[in-house]
Amino acid sequence: TTRIVLASRPVGKPVTANFRLERETLRDLDEGEVLLQILYLSLDPYMRGRMDDAKSYAAPVEIGGVMEGGTVARVVKSRNTEFTPGDIVLSHSGWQSHAISNGAGLRKLDPNVAPISTALGILGMPGFTAYAGLRNIARPKVGETLVVAAASGAVGSAVGQIAKIFGARVVGIAGGPDKCRYIHDELGFDAAIDHRAGDFQAQLASACPKGIDIYFENVGGHVWNAVFPLLNDFARVPICGLIAHYNEDPSTSRGSDQLPAVMRAILRKSLTIRGFIQREFADQRPDFYREAGKWISEGRLKYKEDIVDGLENAPEAFLGLLEGRNFGKLVVRVAQS
């Protein structure tokens, strides 16, 4: 088996030297186990957090440990009565070509329902994150203005489209003209703003003439700074991700302290700012699979995958994700299905 381990912890921006490719011979299966061949590996921003030895909602990857990650795999050998060779499953096998599992946590996928890679994207964790944040925290009402950043990405593209289904007016923020064109022309967002444009803040303000009722936060940084003054009274701000800050050392001071202004606005405008991790709402996953499946078949929920070939290319692709070089849900094709 081939696998990619964490060779060292990054300081600031990760580099490819933080990863190491290793080969290993797999042991034989015990009773109750299955051998999985990984077909697709999901690359997600949360993996940056797992590279740090810092307190978080999940334990870090150990030095020398296999990088964690969601995967779609084929059962190639089985000593477990619930699985037959040829079954396609969703697993959490990490950055490797093969894995042994006792079957716990595996979910069988039906390749006839949707392309199997979608179990890592639109019909998987990122799609569910969008749905859960909207349904439980944002609660868009018809005619309200919702702004979402990283809007062409796995979570953001689903946030905008589902919010439109719920009747909101949707403004997407994305990096560069191609991503902006895509969310406006193909996904039907009402407006698309490039956060790299010099007059980004002014463009955002004119795209939101009635202010912002919901800001689905995926980014932080300069995008938050532009959004913050436009928040309306009673705005809801699900804090889903802060990718602009993932390479920062949290102990370093950041100069001008925005906190007092933020706290004052929370009070004065009765804002609801609520962090969440999607698994908190895990009991809503069946609803999500049902509704999202229907929206996809009706053509109301579209998705784009950015597929990179070869496990050995995962580190470079992951570094690109942290800089916006991906266009759509980033997935590594580890083996041909």
Q: Which residues bind ligand NDP (CB under 6 A)?
A: 44-46, 126, 129, 150, 152-156, 174-175, 179, 195, 218-219, 221, 223, 240-241, 243-244, 276-278, 321-322, 324, 326, 329
175 by DSSP, 3-state: which?
coil
Of 218, 283, 259, the closest CA to residue 45 belongs to 218
CB of 31 to ligand NDP, least distance (A): 36
Output 83 or 131, the one with its CB closest to ligand NDP.
131
Contacts of 299 (CB under 8 A, 6+ apart): none
Output 34 or 330, the one with its CB closest to ligand NDP.
330
Upper half-sphere CA count for residue 227 (Cβ side, 13 Å): 26
Which residues in 60-202 belong to E strands, given as ranges? 71-78, 88-91, 98-101, 107-108, 145-149, 169-174, 191-194
**Cβ–Cβ < 8 Å for 50, 9:** no
CB of 160 to ligand NDP, least distance (A): 12
CB of 126 to ligand NDP, least distance (A): 5
Output 5 or 330, the one with its CB closest to ligand NDP.
330
CB of 158 to ligand NDP, least distance (A): 8
**Cβ–Cβ < 8 Å for 102, 276:** no
Output 36 or 227, the one with its CB closest to ligand NDP.
227
CB of 276 to ligand NDP, least distance (A): 6
Q: Calculate the alpha carbon distances from 166 to 77, 106, 122, 293, 301 in Å.
A: 44, 32, 17, 16, 12
Output 32 or 60, the one with its CB closest to ligand NDP.
60
CA–CA distance, 235 with 233 (Å, rounded to integer): 5
CB of 329 to ligand NDP, least distance (A): 6
Output 64 or 177, the one with its CB closest to ligand NDP.
177
Q: Calculate the alpha carbon distances from 320 to 132, 194, 222, 325, 326 in Å.
A: 27, 18, 19, 5, 6
Torsion, Cα 48 224 195 175, to 10 degrees, reads 30
Output 83 or 303, the one with its CB closest to ligand NDP.
303
CB of 303 to ligand NDP, least distance (A): 11
